[in-house]
Amino acid sequence: MYNEYFGFKEAPFSIAPDPRYLYMTAQHREALAHLVYGLNSEGGCILLTGEVGTGKTTICRCLLEQIPDQANVALVLNPKVSEIELLETICDELNISYPDQDNSVKTYTDRIYQFLIESNRKNDKTVLIIDEAQNLSSKVLEQLRLLTNLETNQRKLLQIIILGQPELLDILARTEMRQLAQRITARFHLQPLTGNEVKAYVSHRLAVAGQNIQLFPENSIKLLYKLSDGVPRLINILCDRALLGAYVESQYAVHPPIIKKAANEVFGELKNVEKQHKNRQWLYPIAALSGITVFAIALFLYLTLAPVNDISNDINSNEQLAEIQNQELPVTIDESSSNDLLSSASDLAEDPAEDDLALDETQDTGNSPAEAVPDLTTENITEADTEVVYDNIETILNDKKSDQISAYQALFRAWDKNYNNKIITTACKQAKEFSLRCLHKQGNLNSLKAHNRPAVLALINSQGDMRYITITSIQDDLATVFSNNIEHTIKLGDLDQHWYGQFILLWRKPDNYSSAITPGDSGNIVNWLNNQFVDEQFANTNNAYDETLVEKVKTFQSQHGLAADGIVGPVTIIHLNTKSGLSVPTLRIQS
């Protein structure tokens, strides 16, 4: 109802678990890293817990985007089932046939095992996802454990992902559940968002929906945090209702009175909640005073009754403790496991859209913290040892002039063009005048490097404000960016901390190109496609996009890490332009 009024492409605060709207806080990145690490391990169980509405299902959807297309996925959304019903649901999800009646646990298990053996022979991964697992009975949990026993000599055949509320942790802590608990190879518990994260979360969802104006003032954000306790689902419900209220009142900003009214409609009478909170506040000083009193009495009795030699012993012990605390303790860091997690985390935001890329990120492995650092003197310091000077990204992102207009100006300059129109929405229209097109993507540093074009990035600073920069080159772990038309050198790691995957780049379209080139097409655009392989091993003289040319394109796509589907869209054209040596700006990536 209010989408057109505020300029949204779609509702920004839907409670559907859409991975595009996932705001990747530090803990969400870590959660995904743990889950991907567990998924890439050989079988076992992965556990993700969190309070209601903290984003467990959404993170799971993001995790599913990391699973290869040929993987088999069984999703159990209703865990209030018996052992037989669980096995039957798994068979249904995996399209495993079974007799219509009189089936035992063994019947289903045998069918599942045969399916897993065949999938393993094809190198297909099979994943079972159980949502709301806190509702599983002990017998069903035991059946899950038995399913993890399906294995070959080399690997487990079934990967199980378990999602649940905090009560699930209490269940798994029981003695009778210890065998299942020991099968869990990766686990993470999601916490609610902090106050600053709530502001960034709201900004992120508004931006994804197509609106970069801050519709929620600072005092409204603080009230949102107070009312929701940082739970994303509650934030979504409140914001959705508040936007509707602003629309009804013909307001273009959501002020606290509107949010309070929305909270009354969603949660009931807000005043009752606030009154209960205030009624509890008088207990806090009494509790603190009681604790101090008890401590003082205990200390008095101890000093009065304790023998002198005991006190001297305590003093000696305290002196020994001080000596121990001043000693340097050896530190041991498991680099292999931490690097695995970091590598996984960097690949998590990869966009599954058409023509997107699937590349492995090269890790930058430095010296272990436990290794000795060589003594540097003025005699052995060379020019290569001089530390590269880079700019503080926080300072850059605090510049309110780092807006879309200046970012587009820098992007157009990278193509030797001028962007003069200050109406933001016409940037892509203006690009068409130069035979250029905009490409909006959601990815990570890996996919940005793979596209190898200057791009506008949407970043969020520590205060939750949206800022825009243009990245023009990458060298090692540093990047050259433009903010407010000023050139800066920043660390890629710092950039990644404030970037949540959104970027826009320009690409040059061939003449006569209007849409993706698909098998069966003909005409001048197919002639252009043929010309890309002239004097190459893929040369083709046909003027139709026939099977021969399709196979050549698929081979090219495969060699460049693209989806080998034979469909020539923007990303394939970008790689063809790079290969042909066409005069286009690149990120000039150097290692």
* 146/304 Cα distance (integer angstroms): 61
Contact call for residues 56 and 48 (beta carbons, < 8 A): yes
Which residues share a beta bridge with 439? 505
Contact call for residues 506 and 408 (beta carbons, < 8 A): no
Of 68, 70, 105, give the one whose Cα is nearest residue 90: 105
Specify if 327 maps to a domain: no
CA-to-CA dists, residue 217 to 213, 255, 321, angstroms: 10, 7, 52
Which residue, 256, 277, 298, sits at the end of a domain?
A: 277
Do 488 and 558 lie in one domain? The reply is no
Which residue, 168, 190, 212, sits at the end of a domain?
A: 190
Do 183 and 43 lie in one domain? The reply is yes
Q: What is the three-class DSSP state of 74?
A: strand
What's the N-to-C CA distance of the chain in angstroms?
50
pLDDT along the chain (591 residues), means of 10: 86 87 84 77 81 85 75 82 90 89 86 90 87 88 86 82 90 88 85 91 90 85 92 93 91 88 79 46 50 56 47 39 37 34 31 33 35 40 58 90 90 92 71 90 84 91 83 93 94 87 89 87 88 63 80 90 88 91 81 50
**Residue 482 Rama label (left phi>0; alpha psi -120 to 50; beta):** beta
Do 149 and 272 lie in one domain? The reply is no
* 422/136 Cα distance (integer angstroms): 57
Tokens of 165: 């509320």
Contact call for residues 496 and 503 (beta carbons, < 8 A): no
DSSP 483: E
pLDDT at position 422: 60
CATH number, domain containing residue 500: 3.90.70.10
Q: What is the three-class DSSP state of 426?
A: helix
CATH number, domain containing residue 90: 3.40.50.300
pLDDT at position 222: 92
Query: From the centroid of its chain, how far is CA 15?
Result: 17
Q: Where are the beta strands (DSSP E) in 77-210?
A: 126-130, 159-164, 184-190
SS3 for 444-468 is CHHHHHHHCCCEEEEEECCCCCEEE
| Exposure string over 264-274, b if 16+ CB within 10 A, otherwise e | eeeeeebeeee
Do 97 and 244 lie in one domain? The reply is no
Specify if 79 maps to a domain: yes
Specify if 85 maps to a domain: yes
Do 482 and 456 lie in one domain? The reply is yes
Do 45 and 109 lie in one domain? The reply is yes
Which residue, 277, 305, 326, sits at the end of a domain?
A: 277
State pTM to two decimals: 0.47
Do 125 and 42 lie in one domain? The reply is yes
Tokens of 50: 């969190």
Do 30 and 176 lie in one domain? The reply is yes
Contact call for residues 319 and 325 (beta carbons, < 8 A): no
Of 457, 484, 471, give the one whose Cα is nearest residue 401: 484
Query: From the centroid of its chain, how far is CA 325?
Result: 40
Specify if 240 maps to a domain: yes
* 441/501 Cα distance (integer angstroms): 8
In terms of residue numbers, what domain contains 38? 26-190
Tokens of 160: 């199980």
* Sign of the dihedral through C-alpha 518, 523, 525, 528: positive
Do 42 and 176 lie in one domain? The reply is yes
Specify if 367 maps to a domain: no
Specify if 555 maps to a domain: yes
DSSP 421: -
Type of residue found at 256: P
Do 212 and 82 lie in one domain? The reply is no
Tokens of 320: 């020994």
Specify if 87 maps to a domain: yes
pLDDT at position 379: 43
Do 558 and 491 lie in one domain? The reply is no
Residues 6+ apart with CB under 8 A from 190: 27, 28, 31, 48, 49, 50, 51, 54, 55, 56, 59
> What are the pLDDT digits (tens) for 459-470?
888 777 778 999
Do 109 and 219 lie in one domain? The reply is no
Give the orientation angle of helix 195-208 with respect to helix 232-248, to 10 degrees.
60
pLDDT at position 138: 87
pLDDT at position 382: 47
> What are the pLDDT digits (tens) for 379-412?
444 444 456 688 999 999 988 888 888 999 999 9
Query: What domain count does the chain have?
Result: 4
